């Protein structure tokens, strides 16, 4: 009888251990499945964020020779207080460009769009008040009313720079002229 009881207890213990073993396997599989699902969710989020960042970065990549100020035709006329700024655009579509003019620690900026518009203190080199960015593979010169923009008539511009906006992404400065000659 003792042996029979002992066998019964052994069988019950084995059955209980088998049930525990099965639930351990199921729990392990659930944890693995949950890990795989979470990894997939995180992967898709990171991939989308990375792709968006790369697309924006590509807009501004390698534009430094494509949107630049022409030093030959950028000059300052001290008698008329006008700064002539010449801009060249190569094979890139520029949506707008922000120009910065600095003198004696003071900087003023203005934007020119790829559609004809009027910009305070800026006119086309031909004298027209409507200005527009040059199209691909072309250039244009603008006349900036230096004193009208708030610079002292006795100061001379220290620096001119341009920062284009391409595919909706504002890029860093692509071109700077620090030694501006006289016209």
Calpha distance 160→158 (Å, rounded): 7
Confidence (pLDDT) at 53: 61
Is the model's pTM score more than 0.85?
A: no
User: Looking at residues 165-173, what average pLDDT do you find?
Assistant: 89
Q: Is the model's pLDDT at 165 over the cut of 70?
A: yes
In the chain, where are the structural domains located?
1-61, 67-182
Q: Which carries the bigger pLDDT value, residue 17 or residue 128? A: 128
Q: Give the range among 52-56, 104-108, 147-151 with minimum mean pLDDT.
A: 52-56
CATH architecture, range 67-182? Sandwich (2.60)
Q: What is the mean pLDDT of the chain?
A: 85
Contact between 120 and 126 (Cβ < 8 Å): no
């Amino acid at each position: 009888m003792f042996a029979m009881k002992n066998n019964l207890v052994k069988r019950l213990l084995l059955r209980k251990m088998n049930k525990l073993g099965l639930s351990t396997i199921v729990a392990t599989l659930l944890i693995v499945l949950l890990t795989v699902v979470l990894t997939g969710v995180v992967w898709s989020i990171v991939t989308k964020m990375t792709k968006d960042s790369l697309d924006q970065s590509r807009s501004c990549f390698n534009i430094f020779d494509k949107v630049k100020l022409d030093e030959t035709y950028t000059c300052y006329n001290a008698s008329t207080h006008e700064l002539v700024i010449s801009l060249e655009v190569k094979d890139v579509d520029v949506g707008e460009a922000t120009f910065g003019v600095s003198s004696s620690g003071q900087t003023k900026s203005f934007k020119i769009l790829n559609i004809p518009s009027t910009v305070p203190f800026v006119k086309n080199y031909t004298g027209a008040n409507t200005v527009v960015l040059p199209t691909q593979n072309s250039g244009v010169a603008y006349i900036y009313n230096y004193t009208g923009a708030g610079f002292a008539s006795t100061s001379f511009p220290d620096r001119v720079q341009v920062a284009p906006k391409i595919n909706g992404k504002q890029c860093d400065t692509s071109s700077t002229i620090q030694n501006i000659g006289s016209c």
